[in-house]
Copies of this chain bind each other. A is one copy, B any other.
Amino acid sequence: MISVDEALKHVLDHTFPLPVTSLDLSAVLGRTLAADVTSDIDSPPHDKSLVDGYALRTSDLGRANALFKVLEEVTAGETPTCKVTKDSVVRIMTGAAIPEGADAVVMLEETEARGAEAVLIRRSSLTVGSNIMRRGTSLRQGDTVLEAGATIRPLEVGLLSEIGRSQVFVQEVPRVAILATGNELVPSDHRPKSGQIRNSNGPMLTALARSATASAVDLGIGRDDRDILAQLVTEGLRSDVLILSGGVSAGVLDLVPGVLEAAGVEQVFHKVNLKPGKPLWFGVVSQQGQTLVFGLPGNPVSGFVCFELFVRPALDRLAGRTASSAGRRRFRLACEHTHRGSRPTYYPAAWEESVDDQPATAKPLAWRGSADLRSLTACNCLLVLPAGDYTLGAGQWVDGLVI
């Protein structure tokens, strides 16, 4: 049986970034930038005032309460027409261009107007450049300001707008289809009869894919019938990723691998040395474009763990993200934890941020088996526990995968 690392390598070896598309700036929040972005402007475009006040020559200051002549008033968006000369000033608003001749701005609060054409300046000294932001301080024309692979957050939207990128090259988002299989499943608006359970995997996996910025469609429930499954699989293979849930164990009705192979999906691996999630199946097919096919175990916790370990990194790569959306870090155990078993385990836990000098801690959840979604809602990380029988004491370091 291959290891988690080998399985992930197989997945990523078959995963390539999707094509690039150009979108309106208003539609790119959360998307991945597909090309480096350079500025077409200097910012600010001119020396500008950081305050409301008077632009002046520092050499004219020397005593407090001196009277100056006001040449004109310049507001943001206007171009100064006068040059500041000896003992004259230009009234200037925040953001407005500094007039020629001036080398500092005195704040309004340090002045007293004397009619429309004169002002008394109470301050006697200012440094050259005071309250002025120089042209190009923030960025210069031709500078690379954002790099391909970056996630576009609100601040990047502002910056892209400032440098005139009303259309932005971004990676297409992965299209994901989700198919839950199993005769025991009924939709969530049905009352389960004896032996039945509601389909929680389909909606959960659809939401997980959306949380990884994919465009996800829930194909509903595929009964354990070769023809029905084959038809739904064909529909799912039109997406970039098909996620199936259930039907990959060794049970008599575990039909999924056979149906996938009949649909032309080439198996890359089946089974990973992992708990929970051992039955994971992965394959690829190239018809109109390539489709990655994940056969996840039907137990919700197993499916969740497999999604985080294998599907999310694949979606990150398809979407062109250079940084994984799930990070590794180390925690101190909040309580003693005993591990038993021959498989490396990814154990659901709740971690808490470090407080002051206390490091981050993680508390393994009271996990009542791999179908226990209720306990799992407290999960925000998976502890990475090596194979073997051992007990870790409270305070010991453990590796974790932050969800």
Contacts and interface: CB of A to CB of B under 8 A. Distances in A.
Interface stretch (A58-66, A226-234, A351-359): A351-359
Interface in A86-129: 93-97, 108
Given A77-B195, A133-B371, A194-B46, A188 B200 contact: no
Contact of A165 (B155, B188, B202): B188
A196 interface: yes
Contact of A158 (B43, B200, B224, B298): B200
Contact of A145 (B153, B211, B357, B374): B374
Interface in A334-381: 353-357, 359-360, 368-377, 379
Interface string A205-218: 11110110000001
A72 interface: no
Range of interface residues on A (Cβ < 8 Å): 35 or more
B371 A77 contact: no
Nearest to A48: B371
Interface in A241-294: 249-253
A205 B165 CA distance: 16
Nearest to A223: B77
Contact of A188 (B164, B195, B377): B164
Nearest to A300: B158
A157 interface: yes
B203 A369 contact: no
A227 B360 CA distance: 55
A130 interface: no
Contacts of A359: 354, 356-357, 359
A284 B195 CA distance: 56
Interface in A150-185: 153-166, 182-185
A388 interface: no
Contacts of A75: 183-184, 224, 251-253
B137 A369 contact: yes
